[in-house]
Each structure stands twice: as C-alpha cells, then as structure tokens.
A = this chain, B = another copy of it.
Amino acid sequence: MVATKEIDHATELDFMLTRMQDMVIDYIRKGQEEKTCVVNYHSPQELYKVIDLELPTVGSGIDGTFELIKSTLAYSVNSWNPRFMDKLYAGTNPIGVISELLLAVLNSNAHVYQVSPVLTLMEIEVTKAVGQLFGMGEKAGGLLCPGGSASNLLAMITARNKLFPSIKSEGYFPRPHNVNASYGKLVVFTSEHSHYSIDKSAQVMGLGTDNIVKVPVDDIGRMKVDELERLILTSIKNDNTPFFINATAGTTVLGAFDPIREISAVAKKYQCWLHVDGSWGGTAVFSDKVKAETNWFDGSQLADTFTLNPHKLLGVPLQCSMLITPHDGHLLFAQTNSLKADYLFHGNPYDLGAGTIGCGRRPDATKVFLAWKFYGQQGLGERVDKALRSAAEFTEIVRNRKHFKLVCDPSPFLQICFWYVPESVVGEKKYNVVMSKVTRELHRRVNQSGEFLVDHAPLKGVPDFFRIVVNAPTVSLHRDLERLLDAIEEASVDVDWSLLMSDV
C-alpha cells in the first residue's frame, strides 16, 4: 500500500514560499534601485564555471535547490530594471506574479471545461471583451495561444481550412491527384517589415517561403496598399491563388501600423482572409486616447482574425497571446480546425481545446483577466499612454543631441531607433558599412557593462542602428533614457575608429 501521510505538500510549500518571498522581494527591490545592473553578464563558458548545472542522481532538497535559485537570480537579466530595453516585453508587475502563482497552484489545463470551469469562462469573457474594444460586435471572441507566432499560425491555418475545406483531409497535392482542385499555389501577402512568424507559419504549413509575397513599405514602414493590389493581380495572372493578407499593427523594428481599412478593401475585393498581427501594437487598443487620436485601429473590426500579446505592452507575464475574431469567437476555430478526439472532447461547446492545434493548454487568459480586473481598462490604457509620452519625449532628446541621429522622426510607436555617429565617420565613403560596425561595437560595449540591455537592428538600405524599446512604466526620462545616451557616448571614447574603418 502506498503511504500518503508522509507527504504533506502544504507544510513544505508554506516553508519554501516564505523563504522564496524574501529572495524575490530583495531581487525586485534591486531592480528598482538606480545603481543596480540589468545583468551581470557572462558568456556560456564563464557561466558554467560559476553555477553548478549538473543534474544529480540523488536530490539536493530544499537547501541545494535554493542555492541554485539564488545563483539563477544573480546571473539572470533583471527585467524589473527599466533599463532592460532590449525586447518588446518588459518586466511584469505584482498582479502578474500573483496570477502565475495562482496558475501554478491550480495546475489547470484549459482544454476542457470539466477540468477548468472558472478559467474557461475567464478566457471566453476576456477574448470577447477585447473583441469589443476593437468594435467587432457581439459575436466576437477568441482563444489564447502560446505566443504571437502561434496565434499567427492558427490564423493562417484557420483561413486555409475555411477557404479550402478539402485541404484538411486531402492535403494540397492538387494535381494530378485532384484535377478538379479549385486553387493553385496558395500565396500569402505581408509587408517587408512584418514579423518572421508569418514566413514560419507558411513554411510550417508547406506553402513554401517562396510563396510569401513581401509588399513594399513607405518611408515609415507602412505597407503600400497600391503595391499590395498590384502584386495580388500579378499572382492571379500567374495562376496562383492569393488567400491570406497579413497587416501588421506595430512592426517589430520601427513600430509602424499598416492601414487596416484600406487593406481590408483589397482583401474583400480578392476574397482573401485579412489577418492583423498586432502582437506588439495591438494592446494599444486599451487606450481611449490612442483610439481617439490615431488611425491605428481604424478598420480593425473588418479583420477576420487579430493577434495581440498582453505579455508585451501590458506587462502580463510571458506567455499571453490571443487570437480574436468577429466570426463566432472561439467556435470559429473549433469549426475549422477540430478533429475527432472522442476520448477527450465529449461535445461541449465550452471545451476550448477543440479549436487549437494543440491539446493540453496553459490557462494564459487568467493572467490578462486578472490584470484587467486589477488595473481596469483605464489603468492598462494609462500604461500605454505613459509609454507613448516617454517615447515622444525621448525621441525629442535624441533629435536634439549632438552625434545622435534618428532613423524615423517622429518615432512611429514605442521604439526609438537611432545611430550614434562619431565625428570621424561623417562623410566616410563606405558610410553604411562603417556605421553598422560602429553600432555593433557600441552595442556590445554598452550591454557588456550590464548597466543597460538594449538591442540593435538591421534594415534594408541603412546601417544597423540602436533600437530602444520604451515600455516599462517605471522608466525615467532622465535617470534611464538620457543616461543611456551618456553611456553610449562614454563607450565610444576609447574606441579607435580608424582601426575599425581600416577593416572595411
């Protein structure tokens, strides 16, 4: 017989939580302090020397494991520090941590209602409410997916299965196997600046990356709609079948918003599915100010599917991504994507897993639901507004500072992209090549100091540049953003630029 009395999880966890609480509060406090580094940077080879990463035969118990957790905190990136400006996500917040703790304790699975009744209703309600923010009407709703790429993939699969239902069972291979197939090569349209997950989705689905048409963009990175239509016509002329148009709401590098309303007219004309990848910019819809003063979401209710990631701009912990549709909410996905799995699904329309491409699922909706409950739509909208204000102010500072040059002016969204141009590089013959080297060298120096974590990015036709993401609500213009410019300047002081240029 199996002993049970020996296992008392409640008491053990109580002890461990108390010990953990001290460690994490101390960690977060350090992240808030002015003088703490974002990361104590080590290469993989160095890191192996300072942390014991061997997996033991005999367990290390509480003490050994807490030692490892301590080291993990010590050598990880402290995302509570607002000077972590490297990626499109920032640190989370208290309710974010609490919601993850709740999910851990529940250890629930959002695939069938029977095992996750409350969390299932939260998912239905929060996706419906987001649909309302876009003005998608009463039948809007959706599903949570494990990341923006997964949401985009689910959108593309749904479009294919809805427009060409025979593919679900027959596959493509239309000729000579099926001479009556009503379609040619399936072709996807997306802008040159869109995220690579659109390409990945197409290659996963066996459409081939050659069949993704990249539509040119204007000078601030927005899709050119006349070019889109021209390219669709060319595709049709070649006997191909355009079926999916992706518009981006907040591009990865520059932060551009494609004109959704105009694109939707083209999509309708050529019977294409209109998807919006708003993984980055989509949650700006929480701000009433954004909706009143920009045209970013104009026409978004005309999209067939819309991706947005509360884990980016809203501070919800990674991962939290949703795919929203005005067409019957999560039932659209179940109708187009479900396969018979009798052992699991017994026909309940509240079983959300039926519409996904997976089976078991983390109940990620709970996290955005609790964030919304805690801050309200207003609080989340204010976070967006604050980030936009900081980005505008920082853009102005960069614009006015000697040696710094903006890539886009004004910054389209929350990425501030710029070059630091040393005196000696001005007028250089191979300017683009040299400036890319300058950026990469300064980037390496700034990041390795650990004071900041920022990224650099490439773009066709211009040298690599710094891409600074203003997202954390704790970021300070003077303490953090101006200081970053100082740090870049300081890093440049002892670089021998002539040596760098001689390499080119």
Contacts and interface: CB of A to CB of B under 8 A. Distances in A.
Query: Quick one: copies of this chain in the complex?
Result: 2
Contacts of A372: 55-56
Given A4-B475, A149-B359, A200-B337, 17 more contacts: A4-B479, A10-B28, A10-B32, A17-B97, A18-B21, A20-B101, A39-B117, A47-B118, A51-B121, A64-B373, A65-B373, A77-B114, A167-B206, A168-B203, A171-B211, A205-B205, A318-B360
Given A104-B97, A118-B71, A360-B319, A206 B160 contact: yes
Given A92-B107, A342-B458, A17 B98 contact: yes
Contacts of A114: 77, 86, 447, 453
A461 interface: no
Interface string A16-59: 11101100110111001000000101101001100101111111
Interface string A440-454: 000000010000010
Interface stretch (A173-181, A214-222, A399-407, A424-432): A173-181
8 contacts: A17-B17, A20-B101, A27-B105, A65-B373, A69-B370, A91-B107, A253-B343, A343-B455
B61 A374 contact: yes
A113 interface: yes
A126 B55 contact: yes
A204 to B, nearest CB: 5
A200 to B, nearest CB: 6
Interface of chain A, helix or strand or loop or mixed? helix
A413 to B, nearest CB: 15
A389 interface: yes
A474 B4 contact: yes
B79 A339 contact: no
A77 to B, nearest CB: 5
Contact of A7 (B57, B113, B473): B473
Given A21-B21, A117-B42, A373 B68 contact: yes
Contact of A376 (B59, B69, B390): B59
Given A56-B372, A61-B374, A94-B16, A171 B208 contact: yes
Contacts of A334: none
